[in-house]
Structure formats: structure tokens, C-alpha cells
Chains A and B, each alone.
Chain A
Amino acid sequence: MIELLDPTSPLVWAQSQAVDLGWGLALRWGLWLVVGFLGLFPGIVAYMVWLERKAAARFQDRIGPNRVGPLGLLQPIADAIKLLTKENLVPAGADGLVHLAAPVLVIVSAFLMLAVIPFAVGMAPVDLPSGLLYLMAASSLSPLGVFLAGWSSRNKYSLLGAMRAVAQLVSYEIPQVLAVIPIVLWGGSLSLVAIFDKQVEFGWFIASPPGLLAFLIMLIASIAELNRTPFDIPEAESEIIAGYHTEYSGMRFGLFFLAEYLSVFAVGCLVTALYLGGGMPLPLVRFPMNLLGDSLPRLILVDMVLLAVFMFKVLLFILFMFWVRVTLLRLRVDRLMNFAWKYLTPLAIVNILFAGIWYECVIRAGVLTLGGWLWGWVVTGPLVVFAVWLVVWINRRLLLGGPAGVGRPSLGGTRVDAGAAPG
């Protein structure tokens, strides 16, 4: 009956922007949380840990877990039993209630993030119209939990770790959010399902210079958000024991642990859904989606392909994270901050402009053409390269060019006085 109304009225237009929201949605949400909480997520995390240990062992020329079960495959289960049966120690003088609330907050944040990921067609647990914003909101809960964990432990290392963690999380949240904006611009929606659909039409978003840059920014910022090496300052063992969760033991520590790996998984899913075309196997081809018909078997087939490809991409992301972890060294605090504020943030801001250009070149036309796509590359590619170069140049030359000779810290290494002999 909407036609009955004057189509030019803003109200009517606003009403027509509809995606349904209601009890059905709430039900799916609840179901997802129950299923995920009870079985799926702990399982995923357990085997991620196993994988990490195996991978790290390979990198370091060891064998890794191999005692419990074949290839150590039962090791995670043994670990879980150990964690569950250990005593929960709460330090004297700690704030008991907050001490308990902190890991819960962190794990809830990780859980909530996963609820909107579109794994395949019809397989987004919850399709919220502003899903991306919701996702950011959910992930922004974890700094609070981390902070409370550090504060409530009444341990100076915990508090130090918490302060470091929060400063880092808050700083890197900014480039992270800014790197998502091109995707919102291209997808025309905050719904991850709509974004996936757009990627079916216009190719993976990473297959464009601004998308690539946004992906890289997102990748780096995510590593920092996840507190993983080389950004693991908040829990640097060699400096502050274990940072904010020094005083946690037993299952409460287990929750932190779970949350950490679950976040890695969630970020992997997010990056895959936003930049890497979700479950699409090839960048510019609609491959499994063009098989989609009305029949259920076809849908199942397509979904299986999509899900498999999606999980493969997530696996690659996770392996990449492990690789980074065993390869790179920890950064210093000031360099960490410098990197977020002076490199990533400006680049991410400029990148939004480039994303607009890409939109004009490629997406505005409404249909993907090879010519448009190439033209987009020709226009935005040099711009992106130039922007990266410019930001690096400004940081190296202008901002570090202060009083002569004094080495100021930068990401590129401490400057050495020209006259000073090395060693």
C-alpha cells in the first residue's frame, strides 16, 4: 500500500528502507549464542590453540604437542579439563565482583562479534541492518573488560598491562573503524549481508587499490586490537609478567584465553566477509552464486562451497597471524602509538577519499565492467602508492627533523647521530 503515498515525501522514502526486525531475529540470535557458547566456539578455539602450537613448533624446528592422542589432537581437551578443574584464585585486596565481571565482559564481546557474520547465503546468524556498527560496538566492549581486569587485580603489573592495553586498543580502534568506511561506502549499507551481495556483483573489495590499502590497515590494526605479537605490549611476559591477566587462574583465565582466540577467529571472519569476498572463491567471478536457483539442493550445494571457501580463507588468516607472531619482535610503546596515529590514521582517512574515487569509477555504473575496473585501477592505484609514500616521507622528514642530531624514535628505527660510531 506504500504506493498510495506521495513517493516524494521523505517519510515514505524513509519507510521504504526496510529490513525486518522482530522476534524472529531475537530467536535466531538466542539460538546462535546458545549453540556457539555451548559447543562451537570452544571447539574452534581449542583446535586453533593446537594449530598454533603445532605451527609455532614447525617454525622453530620442534614437533609440538604429540603426547595426548594422535598428533597431540587430544591435547586441547586435556588443557580444557585442566583449566576447568583448577582453583580460581582471587588475590587478597582485589575487588571480587569486578574481578569476576572483567573476563565475562571480554568473552561476551568476542561472542557478540560473531553473531552478524554472513558465512554463506542465508547463513548469517543475525542480519542486522546496521550490523557493522553493531560489530564495532561489540568489539569496543573488550577494552572495558581488560581495564577492569587490570584494575581489580590490585597488582601493579596487572594495572600497567591494563593501561597499556587500553591505550593501545583505543588508539588502534580508530584506523580500524576508518578502514571499514570504504566498505560501507561501496556496499551502500551497514548490513554485512548487503556487503557480501555487493561483493558478488563487484568483485572482492580487496581487488582494488583503496580496498587493498584498507585491508592492510585493517590487518595491522586488528593484530594490535588482538594484542598479538608484535603488538603484545599489554601482556609482554618479559616486562610485566602477563599483563592484565596476571592474577587470573583457572577458568577465569580460561575465559580470557578463549576470548583471545575467539577474537582472532572473529576478526578473521570479519576481514573475510568485508574484504575477501566472503565465501566467493574467485575475485571477479560470480562463480557459486550463479548456480543459485530456487531449488533447495542447489542452495545447499552453493552454501557448502561458500562455507568451505570462507573457512579456508579464515584459516589462512589465522595461519598468517601465527606466522607473524613467530616472526616479528615486540614494538616499543611509543613507536606503537606513533604508528597508529601518524601512519595508519592519516592513511585511513585519505583512503576514504580514494574509495570515493573508486566508487565513481567502478560502482556508480551499477554493473561491473572490466573496462571500468581497469580504469579504476589506473586512477586510484598511483594515488594510493603516492599517499603511502607521502605519509612515510612526512613522518620521516618533517616530523622527525627536529633539533639536529637527536634521534627521535620512529617506526623505522632509532636515528643514530651521524658522528657516532656504531657499536
Chain B
Amino acid sequence: MPPIGPGSLDYRDFFFVAPEMVLAVWGLVVLLLDLGLAKRQPAPARRLLVGRVALAGVGLTLAVTLASSLIPLMARANPEDLSTWFSRSTIDYLFDDDPSLFGGTIAGGFDVGVFNLVYVTLLGLVVWMSLAWKFTEEWGEYLALLLWATVGMMLLSAAEELVTLFISLEMMTICLYLATALDKSRTRSAEGGLKYFIYGSVSSALFLFGLSYLYGLTGSTHLSTIRRLLESTRVVGLAANAAGITAILLVLAGFGFKIAAVPFHQWAPDVYEGAPAPVAAWVATGSKIATVIAFMKVFGNALKPWASPSDHILGPGWIGLLAIVAAITMTYGNVAALGQRNLKRMLAYSSIAHGGYLLVGVAALGLATDVTRAAAAVLFYLVVYAFANVGAFAVAVWLVRDKQSDDIDDLNGLVRRHPVLAISILLLMLSLIGIPPLGGFFGKLYLFMQALDERKNAFGSISLIALVGLGFLNSVVSAFYYLRVARAMFLRQPAGEPIAAADTPIGLPILLAAAVVVGSGLSPDSLMSVMQSAATPMLTTPIIVPKVIGPAQGPPAPKKPVPKFEYSKDQVKKMGQMATGGAGPPGGGGPPATKGATTKKAATKDAPATPRKSQNPP
């Protein structure tokens, strides 16, 4: 029996999940500080102290995230620079372009680094916003839950494998359910939390059942393996595969719930309204980014072969489903938002609508020939949307803090008192509509262009063109309700007591969000290029060679002239197709396990095959 050596786990892999680890530990620190040392302090001082410590933790995580994504880049650029700090083997490890960690369960590529940065920045804004006023007694728990939810998000967008994906999805949502209900002075918060919980857990159950079918169909939980297997099998069309359709429907339902796509959207308005405004901001932005990325990975990578097996967009394949859902979602969201006077509720419906636009992007991804561009368009949209929405929720924080309500009418005449902020808010709203030259415009532009570019088949293009047309129409509709905010700020007279000045926790997110929106509008290409480099590792398929578990350390066992795993010819052929993505039988039928090797990237256009990790010994 081989001993269980520590070598089967590469400890260096933890380097790439350092931000998550810091954040997780910091959540505990904040919690213990609040319950322990800060207990004796008077309540306001305690709040401030704990909040600042949490912010410091976010700052630390930001630094760690930067380090953990920059050091590999440096190692790749000039390995000698690092030789003072790291050993040769570590540099080799870092130099390797291999994006997958822990036997392929987690990705550690550029995409993860970029989105970790986005999450941590947004989290910083959300935590800062929370400092604006007192809305919960359970302050330490609240902050810890926010931080932990972020850990879930970061890992969700890094997961390459269904077990990790499922658990991080749950981590994210369970923390958010709880955070939603923490405002105990309002009954709506409790109700929102419970509704979120019930809808969310039902959707996880559906999602999980879909995953179980996916596992049953393919025998693996790794996204790349699933994809390879589906690609190697001649897909006749999903109609012939009812289990496949069922799996897709269930997984789609799960994701649909989380991003509030239409048949599953009922929770969103209630939760946004009920939750404390910063939590609502985090539900609307962070969880949406993470879910959409996971969505893209599962559908755009693992299930890509099932996107549109026949030449027919509405034919059997998930693109048709997605197109229909996208169309209904954006229309419903925009129409329902028209009637809202409450800012948070309006934002909720508008975020449903934005979910619809994003689904157009994901649908285009299924049909795309240039996958990275399609994915980059979605990512671009996500980032701009997220920043604009965080800014908009900061306005909600402002209203709630001063007026204890969040009606849009409370913004009346804001431009007289706070011209800078009013203009910033205007910019955010314009960006959310998609007015040039702001970031939102380019987001929509890229998204729709991508959908229009697909010329794979005629019917598909026509449907996507129709979707894009609907999207434009919807953007026009959305102008009405977004501009209602602008009208209140600029054209109405202030009624009643004016709104008090915004201090840093409110002003900073608004200004920063406006800056991002304007900046991404001024030079969309640079952001787009970053997103493209992020999309490349996200959707290319790493080939996972089984990781050695067992006698991994010590001298290699003396080569016994043994082992031939003898398959019948037929099976060798089949497995070869599986292992190489249909590129023919493997050379010489060598043993499937290469010692220490973890992954090798599939040959893509711009990613040449890189040397395997352990083949360059120190």
C-alpha cells in the first residue's frame, strides 16, 4: 500500500488563494474583535473601530491580491528579478503559465487575479458604505458575513470543478441571506432574508440535481473533462438526449435564480428592498459578477458542445433557451422598473434587466467563433455595471440614512446643494442607460456587436439580431426610469427638509463609481484588452492529467517493467479521443499518469503549450 505522502498536495498552490485566505481569516478577526476586545467600548466607538479594522483587512487583501497576481507576471517577465526572494523551484513554479491549481479544481490565472481585484475593490466600497449609519446591532457578524461572502465569490469565479463551484456558490449565497436579514429594526429586512433564503435554497436544490445529472452523464466533475467528453461524443442534438436537456434546464434554473432571470426573479425586488442598502449593493454587484462568470464557465466552457448542436438557434441546444430567457428578462425588468418610485426597488428591476443583457452576451458566447472576445464583452459589461450600481446604491444609503425611506422623490433638488455628487449620479444613470461616451455605452456596444458578429448560421444570426434589436428598444425604455432620478435631482424643487451632506462613506463610492464609468468610457479599449486577457484563461480548456495521489515524494520507484493497462483496441481509441479531445490515439499507449504533472493547456491560438510544472526540476 503506498503511503499517503504530503507531496500529493502542492503547498505552493496556496500562494494563489492567499487573498481568499486573508479575507476568511480577517472575517474571524473582525468577529472576535467585535465580540471580545471591543466589547467594553461604547457602541459608536466600537462600531467605528470594528468597521475600520474590517476596511484595513480589505486593504490588506487588496495588497495580497495584487501581489499574488503580479508576482507570477513578474516571474514570467523577468525571472531573475525574483531570485533574491524565492528559490529557483518556486520561480519555475511561478513561471509556469499553468492556470490550474489543486489538481485542476481551482484556476489561478490572470482572470482570477483581475476579478479578485474587482471584488476586493467593490467590497471595500460596500464596507465603507456600511459605515455611513447604524442599521444593525450585529455589526461584527455583519462585516464578517460580507467578507466571507466575498470569499465565496472569489472562489466561485475561480472554480474549475463542480464540487468547488457548488460549495462556493453556497458560501456566497448563505452569507448573503444572513446579511440581508441583519437589519433587525425593520420587518422588511427579515422578510427579505427569508424570501431570499427560500428561493435561493430551492434554486440550489434544482441546480444540484442538474449537476448530479451532469456528473452522471460524463462521469466527471471537472469542467474541462465534461467538455472533452461532450466534444468527443457526436452530439446528435439535445432532443435525442433528454437527460442532457434536463440537466441543462435544472442548471439554468439554478443560475437563473441567482442572477434573477425572469421566471426566477421574484425574490430580487423584495430582497433589494428589504436588505440594508450595502448588502443590496453586494447582492446586485458582487454576487452577480461571480454568478455570471461561473455561468459562463459552465455553459461557455463545459457545456459549449451543447450550445447549438443543430443549425438552429431555437433548436435543441441551450442557446435557444437562453435567448428566450434573455428576451423576456430584459423586457420584463425594464417595464416593471418603469412603475417604481422606490430607488432600491427600481434598481432591483433594472438589475433584472441588466441580467437580461448579460444573458444575451452568454448566448452569443455559445455561438461565438472567437470565444475570448465574446466573453470579454460580457466581462466588460459586468465590471462597468457593477461599479455604476455600487454608486447607485450609495445614493440609496444616503437616502435611507437621512430620510429613513428610499423614494426617488427625496432626491428632489439635489443639484442645488451637492452639485458634484448630483452630476456624478447623473453620470452613473446615463451609463446605466448606455449613453455615449460612458462605460455603459461601450459595454452594451461590445455586447451587442458580439452578438451581431456571429455568422455561424443564418437562423442563429437572425435570432441574435432580433435579440439585439430588443436590447436597443429596452435601453430606450430604461432611459425613462433612470432619467426620473435625474429629473428629481435637477428639475424638481426640494420638498420638505433638504438632504444632509454626504460624508466619505457615501460620497467616495459615488465619486469612484462615476470615475470608473467615465474612465472606461474614455478609453474602453484598454479595459477591453484587460478583459480579453482575462477571458483567455477563463474559457480555454486545460487538460488535466491525473494528479498523483500516493507515493509522491522520495525517489521515484524503481522502474519495474510492468504496467500496461491493457485496454481493448476499441477502448484505447475511445479513451484516446477523450484524452486528446479527438486528436487521435495517444502515442504508444503510455501510462496515463505522469508523475507530478498536473495540467497542460490545450493548444489555442494564442497560448502555446507550456512546459509542465515538474518537468523543470531546480
Which A residues form the contact surface with B (CB < 8 A)?
3-10, 13, 16-17
Sample of 27 A–B contacts (CB below 8 Å): A3-B562, A3-B563, A4-B562, A4-B563, A4-B564, A5-B563, A5-B565, A6-B563, A6-B565, A6-B591, A7-B2, A7-B550, A7-B551, A7-B557, A8-B2, A8-B548, A8-B550, A9-B591, A9-B592, A9-B593, A10-B546, A10-B548, A10-B549, A10-B550, A13-B2, A13-B549, A17-B1
Q: How long is the Cα–Cα vector from A9 to B562 in the complex, in angstroms?
A: 14
Minimum CB–CB distance for A236 against chain B, Å: 32
A7: chain B residues at CB < 8 Å are 2, 550-551, 557, 563
Given known A5-B565, A6-B565, A7-B557, contact A13–B592 (CB-CB < 8 A): no
- Of the listed residues B1, B548, B550, B592, the one surrounded by the most CB atoms of chain A closer than 10 A to its CB is B550
A9: chain B residues at CB < 8 Å are 546, 591-593
Minimum CB–CB distance for A349 against chain B, Å: 14
Which B residues form the contact surface with A (CB < 8 A)?
1-2, 546-551, 557, 562-566, 591-593, 595
- Of the listed residues A8, A9, A16, A17, the one surrounded by the most CB atoms of chain B closer than 10 A to its CB is A8
A13: chain B residues at CB < 8 Å are 1-2, 549-550
Q: How long is the Cα–Cα vector from A5 to B566 in the complex, in angstroms?
A: 9
Which of B1, B547, B549, B592 is within 8 Å of A6, CB to CB?
B592
Q: How long is the Cα–Cα vector from A342 to B268 in the complex, in angstroms?
A: 40
Which of A3, A8, A17 is within 8 Å of B593, CB to CB?
A8
Query: Across the two chains, which residue of chain A brings its CB closest to B547?
Result: A10
Q: How long is the Cα–Cα vector from A8 to B546 in the complex, in angstroms?
A: 10
B591: chain A residues at CB < 8 Å are 6, 8-9
Q: How long is the Cα–Cα vector from A17 to B2 in the complex, in angstroms?
A: 10
Minimum CB–CB distance for A222 against chain B, Å: 31
Closest 7 CB pairs of A and B: A10-B549, A13-B550, A6-B591, A6-B563, A8-B593, A9-B593, A8-B548
B546: chain A residues at CB < 8 Å are 9-10
Query: Across the two chains, which residue of chain A brings its CB closest to B548?
Result: A8
Minimum CB–CB distance for B176 against chain A, Å: 27
Are B592 and A16 in touch, CB under 8 angstroms? no
Q: How long is the Cα–Cα vector from A214 to B353 in the complex, in angstroms?
A: 58
Since A6-B591, A8-B591, A9-B593 are in contact, a sample of 14 more A-B pairs with Cβ atoms closer than 8 Å, ordered by chain A residue number, is A4-B563, A4-B564, A5-B563, A6-B563, A7-B2, A7-B550, A7-B557, A8-B551, A8-B593, A8-B595, A9-B592, A13-B2, A13-B550, A17-B1
Query: Across the two chains, which residue of chain B brings its CB closest to A16?
Result: B1
Minimum CB–CB distance for B553 against chain A, Å: 12
Query: Across the two chains, which residue of chain A brings its CB closest to B4?
Result: A13
A8: chain B residues at CB < 8 Å are 2, 548, 550-551, 591, 593, 595
B566: chain A residues at CB < 8 Å are 4
A6: chain B residues at CB < 8 Å are 563, 565, 591-593
B595: chain A residues at CB < 8 Å are 8
Query: Across the two chains, which residue of chain B brings its CB closest to A18?
Result: B1
Q: How long is the Cα–Cα vector from A3 to B547 in the complex, in angstroms?
A: 19
A10: chain B residues at CB < 8 Å are 546-550, 593
A3: chain B residues at CB < 8 Å are 562-563
Q: How long is the Cα–Cα vector from A46 to B593 in the complex, in angstroms?
A: 60
Q: How long is the Cα–Cα vector from A98 to B90 in the complex, in angstroms?
A: 63
Q: How long is the Cα–Cα vector from A5 to B567 in the complex, in angstroms?
A: 11
B563: chain A residues at CB < 8 Å are 3-7
Minimum CB–CB distance for A402 against chain B, Å: 9
Minimum CB–CB distance for B174 against chain A, Å: 21
Q: How long is the Cα–Cα vector from A5 to B551 in the complex, in angstroms?
A: 15
Query: Across the two chains, which residue of chain B brings its CB closest to A10?
Result: B549
Q: How long is the Cα–Cα vector from A17 to B593 in the complex, in angstroms?
A: 19
B592: chain A residues at CB < 8 Å are 6, 9
Q: How long is the Cα–Cα vector from A16 to B566 in the complex, in angstroms?
A: 19
Minimum CB–CB distance for A267 against chain B, Å: 31
Q: How long is the Cα–Cα vector from A10 to B593 in the complex, in angstroms?
A: 9
Minimum CB–CB distance for A417 against chain B, Å: 20
Minimum CB–CB distance for A52 against chain B, Å: 44
Q: How long is the Cα–Cα vector from A16 to B2 in the complex, in angstroms?
A: 9
Minimum CB–CB distance for B257 against chain A, Å: 32
A5: chain B residues at CB < 8 Å are 563, 565
A17: chain B residues at CB < 8 Å are 1
Minimum CB–CB distance for A190 against chain B, Å: 15
Minimum CB–CB distance for B355 against chain A, Å: 40
Minimum CB–CB distance for A221 against chain B, Å: 25
Query: Across the two chains, which residue of chain B brings its CB closest to A14?
Result: B549
B557: chain A residues at CB < 8 Å are 7
A16: chain B residues at CB < 8 Å are 1-2
B549: chain A residues at CB < 8 Å are 10, 13
Minimum CB–CB distance for B357 against chain A, Å: 43
- Of the listed residues B1, B546, B563, B592, the one surrounded by the most CB atoms of chain A closer than 10 A to its CB is B563
Q: How long is the Cα–Cα vector from A10 to B552 in the complex, in angstroms?
A: 11
Q: How long is the Cα–Cα vector from A251 to B1 in the complex, in angstroms?
A: 51
Q: How long is the Cα–Cα vector from A17 to B550 in the complex, in angstroms?
A: 12
Q: How long is the Cα–Cα vector from A357 to B591 in the complex, in angstroms?
A: 38
Q: How long is the Cα–Cα vector from A8 to B549 in the complex, in angstroms?
A: 7
Q: How long is the Cα–Cα vector from A7 to B3 in the complex, in angstroms?
A: 12
Q: How long is the Cα–Cα vector from A17 to B1 in the complex, in angstroms?
A: 8
B551: chain A residues at CB < 8 Å are 7-8
B1: chain A residues at CB < 8 Å are 13, 16-17
Q: How long is the Cα–Cα vector from A13 to B2 in the complex, in angstroms?
A: 7
Query: Across the two chains, which residue of chain B brings its CB closest to A9?
Result: B593
Query: Across the two chains, which residue of chain A brings its CB closest to B549?
Result: A10
Q: How long is the Cα–Cα vector from A4 to B557 in the complex, in angstroms?
A: 15
B564: chain A residues at CB < 8 Å are 4
Q: How long is the Cα–Cα vector from A13 to B550 in the complex, in angstroms?
A: 7
B547: chain A residues at CB < 8 Å are 10
B550: chain A residues at CB < 8 Å are 7-8, 10, 13
Query: Across the two chains, which residue of chain A brings its CB closest to B557?
Result: A7
- Of the listed residues B1, B2, B548, B564, the one surrounded by the most CB atoms of chain A closer than 10 A to its CB is B2
Query: Across the two chains, which residue of chain A brings its CB closest to B103?
Result: A10
Q: How long is the Cα–Cα vector from A6 to B551 in the complex, in angstroms?
A: 12
Q: How long is the Cα–Cα vector from A13 to B4 in the complex, in angstroms?
A: 10
B548: chain A residues at CB < 8 Å are 8, 10
Q: How long is the Cα–Cα vector from A417 to B97 in the complex, in angstroms?
A: 67
Query: Across the two chains, which residue of chain A brings its CB closest to B590?
Result: A6
Q: How long is the Cα–Cα vector from A10 to B548 in the complex, in angstroms?
A: 6
Q: How long is the Cα–Cα vector from A348 to B595 in the complex, in angstroms?
A: 39
Minimum CB–CB distance for B568 against chain A, Å: 15
Query: Across the two chains, which residue of chain A brings its CB closest to B596?
Result: A8
B562: chain A residues at CB < 8 Å are 3-4
Q: How long is the Cα–Cα vector from A152 to B142 in the complex, in angstroms?
A: 39
Q: How long is the Cα–Cα vector from A10 to B2 in the complex, in angstroms?
A: 10
Query: Across the two chains, which residue of chain B brings its CB closest to A11?
Result: B546
Minimum CB–CB distance for A170 against chain B, Å: 21
Minimum CB–CB distance for B502 against chain A, Å: 38
Q: How long is the Cα–Cα vector from A5 to B564 in the complex, in angstroms?
A: 7
Q: How long is the Cα–Cα vector from A4 to B565 in the complex, in angstroms?
A: 7
Q: How long is the Cα–Cα vector from A406 to B563 in the complex, in angstroms?
A: 74
Q: How long is the Cα–Cα vector from A10 to B564 in the complex, in angstroms?
A: 16
Q: How long is the Cα–Cα vector from A3 to B551 in the complex, in angstroms?
A: 15
Query: Across the two chains, which residue of chain A brings its CB closest to B550?
Result: A13
Q: How long is the Cα–Cα vector from A158 to B550 in the complex, in angstroms?
A: 54
Query: Across the two chains, which residue of chain B brings its CB closest to A401?
Result: B40
Q: How long is the Cα–Cα vector from A9 to B550 in the complex, in angstroms?
A: 8
Q: How long is the Cα–Cα vector from A16 to B550 in the complex, in angstroms?
A: 11
Q: How long is the Cα–Cα vector from A8 to B597 in the complex, in angstroms?
A: 12
Q: How long is the Cα–Cα vector from A6 to B592 in the complex, in angstroms?
A: 8
Minimum CB–CB distance for B590 against chain A, Å: 10
Minimum CB–CB distance for B565 against chain A, Å: 6
Query: Across the two chains, which residue of chain A brings its CB closest to B595?
Result: A8
Q: How long is the Cα–Cα vector from A6 to B559 in the complex, in angstroms?
A: 11
Minimum CB–CB distance for A198 against chain B, Å: 15
Q: How long is the Cα–Cα vector from A10 to B547 in the complex, in angstroms?
A: 8
Minimum CB–CB distance for B524 against chain A, Å: 47
Query: Across the two chains, which residue of chain A brings its CB closest to B594?
Result: A8
Q: How long is the Cα–Cα vector from A16 to B4 in the complex, in angstroms?
A: 13
Q: How long is the Cα–Cα vector from A3 to B557 in the complex, in angstroms?
A: 14
Q: How long is the Cα–Cα vector from A9 to B592 in the complex, in angstroms?
A: 8
